[in-house]
Structure 1
Amino acid sequence: METISIEEAAPHVAVLTLNRPDRLNAITLKMYDEIEETVDALSRDTSTRVLVITGAGRGFCSGQDLRDLGADPAASDLGRIQFGMAWQARASRLIKAVHELPQAVIAAVNGPASGAGLAIALAADIRLAARSARFNVAFVRIGLSGADMGTSYFLPRIVGPTAAAEMMLTGRLIDAPEAKDNGLVLRVVDDGTVVDEAVSIASAIVANSPFGVRMTKQVLWNNIDAPSLDAAMQVENRTQILASLTEDCREAEAAFLTKRAPVFSNK
């Protein structure tokens, strides 16, 4: 692949690195394609249980590379609006694919995460920040709406509507400590250690049963939008019964009683 790399950093833990460091990993059409192809393959890979996303060099992702916006609308057989809507749907599809991965996703943010980069980080289940991390809703700074690529859905749910409104309306950069204060990231760590911290958390996730982790992620995000406590509990109840009937649940119980580490088979 030209714009990303992926490797196994620990048992069952994959690290996907955005790899255009000379452009602070600004996203291109090729990068959209390569990330989406990789995420699609991972969604069917039962051996990978956690995905860590980070950026090579000094940045996580500085947003859309404005020098690479795909085909020229004038050369398309679509109208300008229709072309724009197709491009917008293309970009947004990636965020949905990352968020809907059955595996847990951790964003290890180093340097700037702006615009599309912020959207990728928001799509993750957990975010960690290096001290150099910076976050902003860049769209509004270039004449567009601050509501783009899922930002208006994720950001208010993560930091609350007031902090989200300020970020989205001003487009200002917030640093790592402020991101920690408003709940955008779980913790801040020294530069050069954010991927290690992400892999450490990923390994703690991997210590749990694969089915239990997948169902936890699914139910957590489903119940963020649950219409009522009763509806949320109904989903929880069904999921617990499903999990209780797996072989891995019996293995976890046996391991607990005999004071040993469980060996899960994903059955």
Structure 2
Amino acid sequence: MKYVRVEYPEPRLAVVRLNRPDRLNALSATMVADLKTAFGTLHRERGIRAIVLTGEGRGFCSGADLSGDPDHAPDAEDRGPVGHVYRSQEHLSELILAVHECEKPVIAAVHGAAVGGGLALALACDLRVADASARFGSVFIKVGLSSADVGTSYLLPRLVGPTRAAELMLTGRHFDAAEADRYGLLNARTEAGAHVSAALDLARAIATNSEYGVWMTKKGLWSGIGAASLRQQIELENRTQVLGTFTGNMTEAAVAFRERRAPVWRDM
């Protein structure tokens, strides 16, 4: 991959690093393709329990690449104006889905700029950590487009509430890590440079749990956010818990408790 690096700092954890620091990790078509490849692979990588997503250089991600460099989305080249722009839009949106729907919990470790598509990328993650240098912004509206773009209109209101999301999306203003923390967008706010370490701490805490438990918790959490009713979600929960008993891990947890040791989880 040209613009993305995948690292394995320790067993069960992966770090996906946007690696285009000279452009503040702007999302070119090639970088988007690289990220989709990385998350598609990690989605099915059995040994991985949690993923940290971060950026190389001075910032997390400055959003879509507006440089005009000839880098086309798949199936976009040689199309007319509508087809070219539409395929480019789909290409970027598919990345948001790849991150959000990855079976492994994803933790955004943010520093510097996380604006436009960079904000959307952070929102698509399950957890977010930011250091003191982080700056966020739903800035699509500042280029004459709607701030309802690449998942932001779905995710941001669910994370910070519709009233705050309306302000941030309609003004397009930047907001810092302290504000993001107050709005409930962050799981941790760190001093400058400590964001990846804090994200890895969260990843380790997740990785102590069973493969089945982590997998079904992520699925159930986001299903619950979109559920039409409490009854609908409880029906899903009931089936998930019944299925989970057949892993043998609940029995192992009880034995480990009695023996005063950590459980040894069975993989699926």
Normalization by structure 2: what TM-score? 0.95
Instruction: Tell me the equivalent position of 2:24.
Output: 24
Letter in 2 for 1:235: L
List gaps (5 residues or longer) in structure 2. none
Instruction: Tell me the equivalent position of 2:105.
Output: 104
Going from structure 1 to structure 2, the CA distance change for 1:77 and 1:69 (only over 3 Å counts) comes to: closer
- Within 2, Cα distance between the matches of 1:14 and 1:167? 32
1:213-255 Cα deviation digits (max 9, x unpaired):
1100001101111111111111111111111221233222222
Displacement of 1:187 in angstroms is 1.9
Instruction: Tell me the equivalent position of 2:56.
Output: 56
Letter in 1 for 2:41: A
Letter in 2 for 1:258: E
- Within 2, Cα distance between the matches of 1:158 and 1:122? 8
1:39-91 Cα deviation digits (max 9, x unpaired):
1111111101101000112100011111247349xx95433122211111111
- Within 1, Cα distance between the matches of 2:42 and 2:77? 33
Give aligned-pair identity as a percent.
48
Instruction: Tell me the equivalent position of 2:170.
Output: 169
Matches within 5 A, 1:1-267: 1-67=1-67, 68=69, 70-71=71-72, 76-267=77-268
Displacement of 1:186 in angstroms is 1.5
Normalization by structure 1: what TM-score? 0.95
Letter in 2 for 1:106: I
- Within 2, Cα distance between the matches of 1:11 and 1:155? 32
1:133-161 Cα deviation digits (max 9, x unpaired):
01001211111111110000000000011
Going from structure 1 to structure 2, the CA distance change for 1:266 and 1:10 (only over 3 Å counts) comes to: same
The 10-residue stretch of structure 1 (63-72 or 229-238) with the greater mean CA deviation from structure 2: 63-72
Contact 2:29 2:91 in 1 (8 A): no
**RMSD over equivalenced CA pairs, Å:** 1.5
Displacement of 1:20 in angstroms is 1.2
- Within 2, Cα distance between the matches of 1:58 and 1:219? 35
- Within 2, Cα distance between the matches of 1:252 and 1:46? 21
Number of matched pairs: 265
Q: Secondary structure at the match of 2:7?
A: strand
- Within 1, Cα distance between the matches of 2:254 and 2:24? 47
Displacement of 1:27 in angstroms is 1.3
